[in-house]
Amino acid sequence: MQATAKQIAHLLGGTIVGDENVTVQGPAKIEEGVAGAISFLGNPKYEPYLYSCQSSIVLVPNDFEPKQAVTATLIKVADVYSSLGVLLEHFNQATQPKATKKIDQQAYVAATVTIAEGATIDALAYIADKVKIGKNVRIYPHVYIGEGAEIGDNVTLHTGVKIYAACLIGNQVTIHANSVIGSDGFGFAPQADGSYQKIPQLGNVILEDGVEIGANSVIDRATMGSTIIREGAKLDNLIQVAHNVTIGKNTVLASQVGIAGSTHLGDSCMIGGQVGFAGHLQIADGTKIQAQSGIAQSVKQPNTALWGSPAMDYRQYARAAVVFKQLPQLQQRIAKLERMLQQQENK
């Protein structure tokens, strides 16, 4: 794809500083910029690269003023990272081949499967009975889709993805390699003899529009009803979501988060890596949780920031951490004061 600065500025709603007719063919990091590339400056620490990079166009914030001469044409935008996302998606779409239905001869597709235009199913994929596949879906090798599952439009299922029976996948969903959607929830009833009786898991999983699931993540089906990942939520790699969990709209979870059964996360939450949630909790909208925290109680106040295990108010934890680092010195001071007090009492 080739585009001029004028076309890109129009796409992004930006302001041009320099040659509006300069053209670019693709993106490049600012530290590796070459002629014909477009780069971006989102973090001030990368500003020195701006003055030496050879990129033809660089995206910068609206309030940016260069401290030295710049050879590249600048396009000023309100939000560099959001604009970059729009631009990369534009380049990506331009490089995609025209959609036509394509099913590899080595794929197994049951006779009762419904496949819309533009779908591509690669070798060794297995599509069971009564599955519905939407427009422009891309199914990579070794994907399994169980009976009665429904896949929306513009969905990408990377190599090794497993979608169990009756699960519902919305539009514009991406699931990365080896993730499992709809495995049984961890439901077992303890018996008098110390054994455990399995509780049948009869529900499903629903991924709403715009959801992205990282590699090697697992989302369990509900015991009854649905485990639901709401519109626009983003899950990193290596995440465990248990049965009957709900994750709210535009909530993001970093790697290795674990959520126990029937916990509900609100909208627009930000969850750091390795955070653990107990079961049956309610987490308010806008909650932010620092990495490696443990959440044992519900969070009722929206936009709360938490840290620690068990988690507490973020600022309170930061103050407590300062004290914790000083505990050896404090212990020595207390021991000294105790000796002085004992000496005083002896007198």
Query: Are 301 and 227 contained in the same domain?
Result: yes
Query: Are 132 and 186 contained in the same domain?
Result: yes
| C-alpha–C-alpha distance, residues 289 and 308, integer Å | 9
Full domain range(s) for residue 183: 102-318
255-266 pLDDT tens trace? 999 999 999 999
| C-alpha–C-alpha distance, residues 72 and 275, integer Å | 43
Query: Are 114 and 226 contained in the same domain?
Result: yes
Handedness of CA 89, 94, 100, 104 (dihedral sign): negative
Above 80 in pLDDT, residue 282?
yes
Query: Are 242 and 197 contained in the same domain?
Result: yes
Q: Which of 158, 176, 243, 264 is catalytic?
A: 243
Residue 331 lies in a domain: no
Contact 56, 75 (CB under 8 A): no
Query: For position 99, what pLDDT does the model report?
Result: 60
| Token digits of residue 340 | 């002085």
Contact 283, 303 (CB under 8 A): no
Query: Are 185 and 209 contained in the same domain?
Result: yes
Query: For position 91, what pLDDT does the model report?
Result: 84
Above 80 in pLDDT, residue 195?
yes
106-150 pLDDT tens trace? 999 999 999 999 999 999 999 999 999 999 999 999 999 999 999
Give the containing element (helix H, strand E) for 176: none
| C-alpha–C-alpha distance, residues 65 and 43, integer Å | 14
Query: Are 90 and 151 contained in the same domain?
Result: no
300-326 pLDDT tens trace? 999 999 999 888 888 888 888 888 888
Average pLDDT estimate for 256-280: 98
Residue ending a domain, among 72, 95, 118, is: 95
Query: Are 116 and 264 contained in the same domain?
Result: yes
Residue ending a domain, among 55, 70, 95, is: 95
70-86 pLDDT tens trace? 999 999 999 999 999 99
Number of compact structural domains in the chain: 2
Q: Based on the residue annotation, tell me whether 90 is a catalytic residue of this protein.
A: no
Query: For position 101, what pLDDT does the model report?
Result: 82
Query: Are 168 and 266 contained in the same domain?
Result: yes
Residue ending a domain, among 48, 63, 95, is: 95
Query: For position 321, what pLDDT does the model report?
Result: 83
Q: Binning pLDDT at 50, 70 and 90, where does residue 96 land?
A: low
Average pLDDT estimate for 177-190: 96
The whole-chain average pLDDT of the chain stands at 95
Q: Binning pLDDT at 50, 70 and 90, where does residue 210 land?
A: very high
Query: Are 130 and 250 contained in the same domain?
Result: yes
Task: Tell me which of 111-115, 202-206, 247-251, 341-345 is least confident.
Answer: 341-345
Above 90 in pLDDT, residue 275?
yes
Query: For position 92, what pLDDT does the model report?
Result: 81
| Token digits of residue 152 | 């929306």
Query: For position 236, what pLDDT does the model report?
Result: 98
Query: Are 18 and 58 contained in the same domain?
Result: yes
Query: For position 325, what pLDDT does the model report?
Result: 84
Query: For position 89, what pLDDT does the model report?
Result: 87
Residue 180 lies in a domain: yes
319-336 pLDDT tens trace? 888 888 888 898 999 999
Query: Are 287 and 303 contained in the same domain?
Result: yes
Of 285, 290, 293, 291, which Cα lies nearest the Cα of 269?
285
227-255 pLDDT tens trace? 999 999 999 999 999 999 999 999 999 99
Query: Are 177 and 272 contained in the same domain?
Result: yes
